[in-house]
Amino acid sequence: MSHVYVLTNQHQQFLSKGNDWIDGREHTKLFRTEHKDVAINQMFEANTRDVSLRIELLECKLDTKRQPLVPEDALSEAPLEADVDPEPAPATDEPTEAAEPAADAAAKLESSEPPSEPVAPQA
């Protein structure tokens, strides 16, 4: 076969073999199939994971190594940055908003009177 189908979205990103969206410049990582029905099934599966995407099939010719040749006009202008986890927020001793209700509840427990004598079970 002289062509394959790849999937692209409205952000000019391409579906990878790992079901991630990549910029499409690394042809070896792209999801591809020779069969249009398989590509359509993958398109529906990807769309069920994120319904806000507008996914399209793109027919690409193959190079001599049988890798898809993605047209330049289908690629985004700038390559995507590598997926890097954002730096964690610096640790502080200040309580967060979520911690305040817990601190209030703990203070109420500390200030409440101890329970009266334990109640013995009745026989």
Q: Is the pLDDT of residue 117 over 90?
A: no
In a domain, 87, yes or no: no
In a domain, 33, yes or no: yes
76 pLDDT band, cuts 50/70/90, is confident
pLDDT mean across residues, the chain: 79
Report the distance separating Cα 116 and Cα 112, nearest Å. 12
Residue 90 lies in a domain: no
> Would you say residue 107 lies in a domain?
no
Answer whether residue 123 is part of any domain: no
In terms of residue numbers, what domain contains 15? 3-74
Query: Which H/E stretch holds residue 110?
Result: helix 99-111
Q: What whole-number distance in Å separates Cα of residue 47 and Cα of residue 24?
A: 18
Say how many domains are in the chain.
1
Amino acid at 8: T
Model confidence over 81-97: pLDDT tens digits? 654 444 555 555 555 55
Q: Specify if 81 maps to a domain.
A: no
Does any domain span residue 96? no
pTM: 0.60
Average pLDDT score over residue span 55-69 = 92
Evaluate whether 59 touches 18 at the Cβ level (below 8 Å). no
Q: Give the mean pLDDT of 38-60.
A: 94
Give residue 119's Cα distance to chain centre: 55
